[in-house]
Amino acid sequence: MAATVVVGTGPVSFEDVVAVARHEATVALGEDALAAVDRARAVVDELAAAPTPAYGISTGFGALATRHIPTEMRAQLQRSLVRSHAAGSGPEVEREVVRALMLLRLSTLATGRTGVRRETAELLAGLLSHGITPVVHEYGSLGCSGDLAPLAHCALALMGEGPVRDAAGVLRPAAEALAEAGLRPVELAAKEGLALINGTDGMLGMLVLAITDLRRLLRTADVAAAMSVEGQLATDRVFATDLQAIRPHPGQAAAAANLTALLRDSGIVASHRGPDCNRVQDAYSLRCSPQVHGAARDTVDHAALVAARELASAVDNPVVLAEEGRVESNGNFHGAPVAYVLDFLAIVAADVASISERRSDRFLDKARSHGLPPFLAHDPGVDSGLMIAQYTQAAIVSELKRLAAPASVDSIPSSAMQEDHVSMGWSAARKLRRAVDGLTRVVAIEVLTAARALDLRSPLEPSPATGAVVALLRGNGVPGPGPDRHLAPEIEAAVGLVASGAVVTAAEEVIGELA
């Protein structure tokens, strides 16, 4: 049975986001959250009854905010807002992304800063718990005034309108899916439509998921680098603690410690450690792995700090200050803080993939591989070995370099120049997801390539940790050296082992947890 994430007035954690987005955790609102929601709603109801216009409660929106809306038209105002803003286009966004953004919108509602009614917040929790996922489209958010179109598609489902996917992934009308789950659509009251769509939840959800994936991938990249150092008869001396300490970046120290642990007791490394070794220095892609992987780690940690601050935020406009009985406009919906780090992480993905591809390529060139057959082929000339696997890496790395171009520096004014500077954070998040997938594939091909090289170094033995990774591959659809065969399924098998974390787990079962 899936776990339950209880949403209170405090921030949800990274683990909560992953549990709901990827592992079908159900969701409940805590009593403190419900009390905060009720207090904020009382403020909104009081302002709605007042003769003085209040933005978002008794006025139009954006460039239309100057119009005062009479009481009898305010329910229509909310419906119109959601329907008109549910204007996305393009392919469906992944289920995990939609579930993450729904949870994060609920988390903001639970702070008591938005003014929704408790039944509206509880219905959003009900959709998550019953696995009902509104259809959200790729295009529509500028990352300012929040992720308006994606969130509006979710709000539409709360009204019982629009298409959704049920728990089995079947496309159905929202009203039908809600009825089957025993849920009743809501008729949105004053302020609720705006509160449901005015947040950075989509880009933040994708940031949290990307950070989770990148932390796993950077440990995997250390495993791949250790296998490459070993397979290319490079030295582990450059990873010594005292050498790292004189440049005290924490990520670098962690990566170097991982490499040292992974290479411990390697028969291959020991075979060329003596005084007759004529290798003076290894290539940068081997020797500088901790510096690159470490800088990537430190960047991910910075992004995690920004994400944690955003998770602790109540993003809405206007915002309810229940303690003072007032509602105020603000600019907290601007996605710049999140957009910047999303772009930064795309640079990280591109560069870590780049150094991984360079390590892989060295295995395939007989002039640089120190005695290995060209392209690691069984019968070079008859067989091409892993020649084209490197082409695949190169194609992905080239794509990752294009994806590293920042989205957050591009702003197109909207809403009749009322919204004249936007963050494009949603776009930054979408390209980061593609970059994380590309990095996964590049690292997987390095692991596959290095494993073949380690087999070809026989009878010399790899380290216990890297040997465990080779054994994992051999037991899961990636055979050892031999005549050419259909390579794509082996690459996909390796990609699956990297994406699942199995490669890291195999090494950690031998040497303990990696940093």
Amino acid, single-letter form, for residue 422: V
Total-model pTM: 0.96
What's residue 106's pLDDT?
Answer: 98
Reading the block at residue 405, the tokens are: 């171009």
Show the tokens assigned to 133: 């996922």
Indicate left, alpha or beta for 191 from its phi (over 0: left) and psi (-120 to 50: alpha). Answer: left
Q: From 446, 469, 442, select the one nearest 376 (Cα to Cα).
A: 446
Question: In degrees rounded to 5, what are phi and psi of residue 67?
Answer: -90, 125
Q: Is 29 left (phi over 0), alpha (psi -120 to 50) or beta?
A: beta
pLDDT of 67 reads: 79
- Residue type (1 letter), 160: G
CA 77 to chain centre: 35
| Helix residue ranges, H only, 365-405 | 387-403
Whose CA is closest to 267, among 231, 239, 237? 231
Distance from C-alpha of 20 to C-alpha of 65, rounded to nearest angstrom: 36
The confidence score (pLDDT) of residue 112 equals 95
Nearest to 430 by CA among 49, 241, 149: 149
Helix (H, G, I), strand (E, B) or coil at 27: strand
Pinpoint the alpha helices (H) of 170-234: 174-180, 192-197, 201-231
Closest CA to 307 of 333, 340, 347: 340
What are the catalytic residues?
Answer: 55
User: Can you give the pLDDT at residue 140?
Assistant: 93
The per-residue pLDDT for 281 is 86
- Give the per-residue pLDDT at 414: 87
SS3 state of residue 192: helix
Q: Report the DSSP pairing between strands 319-321 and 326-328.
A: antiparallel
Amino acid at 300: V
Instruction: Give the integer Cα–Cα distance in Å for 205 and 342.
Output: 11
- As averages over each run of 10 residues, the pLDDT of the chain (515 residues) reads 87 97 97 96 89 78 73 85 96 98 97 96 98 97 90 98 98 98 96 93 98 98 98 95 97 98 96 72 95 98 98 92 88 93 98 98 95 96 97 98 96 84 94 98 98 98 98 97 98 98 98 97
Give me the domains of the chain, ranges plus CATH numbers.
Answer: 4-199 (1.10.275.10), 206-511 (1.20.200.10)
Alpha carbon distances (Å) from 269 to 19, 81, 114, 454, 502? 41, 65, 61, 11, 24
Q: What confidence score (pLDDT) does residue 261 get?
A: 98
137-139 and 171-173 strand pairing: unpaired
Inter-CA distances, 507 with 194, 280, 493, Å: 49, 29, 18
